[in-house]
Structure 1
Amino acid sequence: MSEGLAAELSERLGAAFRRTDELFARIPDDRLLERPIALRHPFLFYLGHLPAFAWNQVGRGVLGAGHLDRALDVLFARGIDPSDGDDARASHRTSWPSIAEVRGYRDAARRAVLDRVPSVLERKGDLLCDNGRVVHLVLEHELMHQETLMYMLAACPEGSFGRAPAPRTRERYERRPAEPRRIPAGPATLGADWDEIPFGWDNEFGKTVIAVPAFTLDSLPVTNRDWLAFREAGGSSPRSWVEGRGGLSVRTVHGPLPFELLADAPVQVTGEEARAYCAFVGGRLPTEAELYRAAYACPDGSQRLYPWGDDPPAPRHGHFGFRGSLPAPVGLSPDGASAWGVEELLGNGWEWTATPFAPLPGFCAYARTYPGYSADFCGGAHDVVFGASWATDERLLRRSFRNWYRRSHPHAFTSFRVARGGAP
């Protein structure tokens, strides 16, 4: 069993490393020191951060193997999440190692981690070694940062990197407006019990049941076209839009694309912008518990693994798993609807909630090698986002997974839908 699990985990890590390399291959070497998002480090940092994180968790962390390269292990240990430009400038470095040095470190760290997967599984009496938890932790960290790289690419100036043409969206599709879905009062179950899943981040435990009053939720997310009507009535433009001589465009990983190409895709906004829109239409953002109830609860009181049921995620259920490089028009995945007829609860855009990020009752930062994963973000400036985007790996679609962003952050692939009634 240990040998089979070691082979499986090593294969998954290898696949994740290959996808990371494919993403970095889009960035010319002479652009690796650019910071398309002022509140983040340059691309080069992430080239070193992912392997450093893996080694610091597995080699140094649980196996006590010491430093691979002391200077680089420390330099690339953690990213930044500044609140504003002043904080970002305070963490800015003026010099970095050479690209060749970072790539050499990356390759050495990856080899060292893969070589030690069997040693992790052989260690007994360690929570981080049981089920290979620390390897799962490294794997999911890599997958989450792949999405970070994608929205950093989308923030680059027009004309960067000789971008490939955007793939064509479906030429014909039935545009469907969002419809209100009534969700009756009942329980929402958040989180998981420790033995319920083979791996979960600290904020996924323990299982919590919340009584949710009846409310109404839009069947689909708010689109760019919807937001255009809001702007014409006096609202602001989201920072994902670009005004130019050629007209209105939307930022994507292919550069700014004509508005009409993405008019019916979810609008990418900050949590603050989403609140303003909801107030304008006489609604509000749903809470985290409301979205859990809308996604997973059933009229008979049972609970689904996924909004559509217990079948594994497939393309017909939603737009996730890097199956494309653009958000899709809303309404193309009716097979992914929940028991209440709410669609696209997983995929196409992380959905803002009105719930500040905080631990569930009974929270314990069990990963001694990464105690700040959740705890560092519970100060009230970050809100829970629900679901997934098109650039979210299927592995992160499990029911207990929780994500969050600073509510002023404009760059992540975040969307939202409107709720009404209830008692948030």
Structure 2
Amino acid sequence: MIGLTDEQLREAIAGELLAARDRTSGLTDCVDDGELTAQHSRLMSPLVWDLAHIGNQEELWLLRNVGGRDPMHPEIDPLYDAFEHPRSERPTLPLLPPAEARSYAAEVRGRVLDLLSGVELAGPPLLRAGFAFGLIAQHEQQHDETMLITHQLRKGAAVLAAPAPEPAPPGRLPAEVVIPAGPFTMGTDTEPWALDNERPAHRIDLPAFAIDTVPVSNAAYQRFIEDGGYQEPSWWSPQGWQHRLTVGLTAPLYWTREDGVWLRRRFGRVEPVPAEEPVLHVTWYEAEAYARWAGRRLPTEAEWEKAARHDPATGRSRRFPWGDQAPGPQHANLGQRHLQPAPVGSYPDGESPYGVRQLIGDVWEWTASDFAPYPGFKAWPYREYSEVFFARPGEPAEYKVLRGGSFAVAPVACRGTFRNWDYPIRRQIFAGFRTARDLPDGS
């Protein structure tokens, strides 16, 4: 959205809103009403809740906040307040039925597009560069990823389809890349649709470190399993080992072993685990244990971002590993274009100046860092987006940071500064990892 004329900005905003709604429709029109209203996992909302919540948030932020309109259905606001009702309770609420949820979301969208045609986009901060509209486009795409997670959790026949990614280009890549010591700029002050936890930009000085060129693959993770990785407590933190015992972790979620072959269930299909794909559906604890087994560690969030954004030739931080231009299909696996990660080593056009690949798309990457504010953080435009989740001084942190996005993330909701966070026990999310190591002299 940088450098666009007013007309181009309005067209770009409308395009992002329509693309998000097309994806939402695809994820909700492919199942019947029973599937929409069912709760496929206590970890997730019924799909029909997500559908109406998307419309409700759009009405709240754009029609009421920006447009000054009266509420359309104020009585439903509490039903779709994510903080008022945890996911496990939502099936018991008097939710809008599927037809009414669709009608409500469609009516809101029509009014929003009318509002977009006349609103001033160079006014107060909430409207500057169309931020409020960008917030809603990102919000809908984030819920689309959530709904895709629900589709993966649901039982039954496959209802989604997409072509498989291309094979990785031939050629052997180095196992790791050395990132030299020195400062870089983390976060942003210039990304127009960046969310509050990505701000402000600040200088970080890091010692030298090495980081994997590509995410950890299924084949590499299988070696960890076969070497007794799930039976040896020395590879695990005390909390991780206790969690492993409590829930009986023995392999990534959706994996089973039959006749000596690892299989996985993927969106209703059972297939052999592809050796060259990044490993997916592992907890932070599993990622940490693998890294320790491999004689390495998880990268910190700052290390990940330096490997992804810093250009040593110019000293500046890029928007994306490949530069400042928006992601294209040659750069990364994003937007549900495929329903799985691409093989490790894919997308040479998307590598960072240091030669690190697949930092954007394919799998969210667990980092070693707790979710905490940057120096000078200010909650905006509402504190519940980030601030309530931050680690508090003197208290154990609840959330670990993930970076980079997955194949399920839309480009509008993914950039080099974007921060995601979740509990370290979560593995229904599309999360994998890469490892790092300290250099002997730290320089």
The alignment's TM-score, normalised by the length of structure 1, stands at 0.88
Matched, 1:146 2:150: no
State the AA in 1 paired with 2:175: E
Q: Percent identity?
A: 34
- Distance in 2 (alpha carbons) for counterparts of 1:81 and 1:253: 27
Segments of structure 1 that go 5 or more residues without pairing to the other structure are 83-87
Matched, 1:413 2:422: no
Partner of 2:216: 222
Structure 1 residue 352 displacement after superposition: 0.8
Matches within 5 A, 1:79-94: 89=88, 93=92
Counterpart of 1:282 (choices 270, 295, 300) is: 295
1:141-195 per-position Cα deviation (integer Å, ceiling 9, x unaligned): 11222212212211222xx2443567455578648576121111111321112xx
Change (3 A) 1:171 1:91: closer
- Distance in 2 (alpha carbons) for counterparts of 1:80 and 1:332: 42
State the AA in 2 paired with 1:205: R
- Distance in 1 (alpha carbons) for counterparts of 2:326 and 2:102: 36
State the AA in 2 paired with 1:21: S
Matched, 1:263 2:275: yes
Matched, 1:250 2:264: yes
Change (3 A) 1:177 1:11: closer
1:31-61 per-position Cα deviation (integer Å, ceiling 9, x unaligned): 1122233122111111111111111111222
- Distance in 2 (alpha carbons) for counterparts of 1:56 and 1:161: 36
Contact kept, 8 Å, 1:39 with 1:80, in 2: the verdict is: no
Partner of 2:246: none
Segments of structure 2 that go 5 or more residues without pairing to the other structure are 231-249, 392-396
Structure 1 residue 26 displacement after superposition: 2.3
Q: What secondary structure, in the 3-state scheme, does the structure 1 residue paired with 2:221 have?
A: helix
Partner of 1:189: 185
State the AA in 2 paired with 1:264: E
Structure 1 residue 3 displacement after superposition: 5.1
- Distance in 1 (alpha carbons) for counterparts of 2:405 and 2:357: 13
Change (3 A) 1:128 1:305: closer
Partner of 2:35: 31
Q: What secondary structure, in the 3-state scheme, does the structure 1 residue paired with 2:366 have?
A: strand
Matched, 1:324 2:338: yes
1:126-149 per-position Cα deviation (integer Å, ceiling 9, x unaligned): 321222211111111112222122
State the AA in 1 paired with 2:126: L
Matches within 5 A, 1:106-117: 106-117=105-116
- Distance in 2 (alpha carbons) for counterparts of 1:175 and 1:117: 48
Aligned residues: 409
- Distance in 2 (alpha carbons) for counterparts of 1:135 and 1:376: 23
Matched, 1:21 2:34: no
- Distance in 1 (alpha carbons) for counterparts of 2:193 and 2:46: 31
State the AA in 1 paired with 2:379: A
- Distance in 2 (alpha carbons) for counterparts of 1:309 and 1:359: 26
Contact kept, 8 Å, 1:2 with 1:118, in 2: the verdict is: no
1:278-303 per-position Cα deviation (integer Å, ceiling 9, x unaligned): 11111110001101111122333523
Matched, 1:213 2:207: yes
Structure 1 residue 78 displacement after superposition: 2.2
State the AA in 2 paired with 1:299: P
Structure 1 residue 312 displacement after superposition: 4.0
Change (3 A) 1:412 1:175: farther
Counterpart of 1:234 (choices 222, 228, 231) is: 228
- Distance in 2 (alpha carbons) for counterparts of 1:389 and 1:172: 17
What value does the CA root-mean-square deviation take over the aligned residues?
Answer: 2.6
State the AA in 1 paired with 2:204: I
Contact kept, 8 Å, 1:188 with 1:290, in 2: the verdict is: no
Structure 1 residue 398 displacement after superposition: 2.9
Structure 1 residue 90 displacement after superposition: 5.6
Which moves more between the two structures, 407-416 or 168-177? Answer: 168-177
Matched, 1:348 2:381: no
- Distance in 1 (alpha carbons) for counterparts of 2:164 and 2:110: 39
Change (3 A) 1:272 1:120: farther
Contact kept, 8 Å, 1:352 with 1:386, in 2: the verdict is: yes
Partner of 2:241: none
Partner of 2:82: 78
Change (3 A) 1:358 1:256: farther
Counterpart of 2:352 (choices 338, 342, 346) is: 338
Change (3 A) 1:410 1:59: same
1:233-253 per-position Cα deviation (integer Å, ceiling 9, x unaligned): 112333423326575322323
Matched, 1:59 2:63: yes
Which moves more between the two structures, 16-25 or 313-322? Answer: 313-322
Q: What secondary structure, in the 3-state scheme, does the structure 1 residue paired with 2:385 have?
A: helix
